[in-house]
């Protein structure tokens, strides 16, 4: 459950060809010591992606696809903490889309322009949820530092 209102700070970056998006974003979160980061927007393209599909469960995590080719990032959303939870939608050369839970291997083709937000008065953590079998988001209130 969310706790109280929060101020927002913005962090923007551009990733270059060959960089891996997920690990690059987690590095920024770590370097800037962001406590409640999330993706506001992302545009760009990738040549690879590894995604977990919607049919996956804690007992059946084999619902994974490995994509190779040139794909436009149509959408990238989610929260970024030590166990990031990102979903992506990619469009191929014919405009057909595929999406899923990001596992990694998001290798930048031409660029990835990412704008991160941070809820300054919140803390994002993940705890195992016995109902879903996955680590789920836990939101805590952080009073403003004086």
User: What pLDDT, on the 0 to 100 scale, is given for residue 32?
Assistant: 95
User: What pLDDT, on the 0 to 100 scale, is given for residue 146?
Assistant: 43
Q: What are the pLDDT digits (tens) for 134-143?
A: 888 888 887 6
Is-contact 132 59, C-beta < 8 A? no
- Phi, psi values for residue 30, rounded to 5°: -70, -45
Is a pLDDT exceeding 80 seen at residue 105?
A: yes
DSSP string for 17-77: TT-BHHHHHHHHHHHTT-SSEEEEEEEEEEEEEEEE-TT--SS----EEEEEEEEEEEEEE
Q: What are the pLDDT digits (tens) for 2-52?
A: 566 778 999 999 999 999 999 999 999 999 999 999 999 999 999 999 999
- Residue range 54-66: average pLDDT? 77
DSSP state of 92: -
In angstroms, rounded to a whole number, what is the distance separating the alpha carbons of residues 95 and 72?
9
Q: Which two tokens stand for residue 96?
A: 């057909």
Model's pTM, two decimal places? 0.85
Q: How far is CA 41 from CA 14, 133, 142, in A?
A: 12, 29, 25
Q: Walk me through the domains of the chain, giving residue ranges and CATH numbers.
A: 11-120 (3.30.1330.80)
């Amino acid at each position: 459950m969310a706790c109280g209102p929060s101020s927002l700070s913005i962090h923007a970056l551009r990733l270059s060809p060959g960089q891996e998006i997920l690990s690059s974003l987690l590095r920024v979160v770590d370097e800037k010591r962001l406590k409640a980061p999330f993706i506001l927007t992302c545009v760009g393209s990738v040549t690879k992606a590894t995604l977990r599909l919607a049919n996956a469960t804690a007992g059946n995590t084999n619902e994974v696809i490995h994509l190779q080719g040139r794909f436009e990032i149509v959408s990238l959303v989610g929260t970024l903490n030590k166990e990031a939870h990102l979903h992506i939608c990619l469009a191929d050369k014919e405009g057909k889309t595929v999406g899923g839970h990001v596992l990694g291997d998001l290798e930048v083709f031409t660029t990835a322009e990412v704008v991160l937000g941070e809820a300054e008065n919140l803390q994002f953590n993940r705890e195992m949820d016995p109902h879903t079998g996955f680590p789920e988001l836990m939101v805590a209130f952080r009073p403003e530092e004086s």
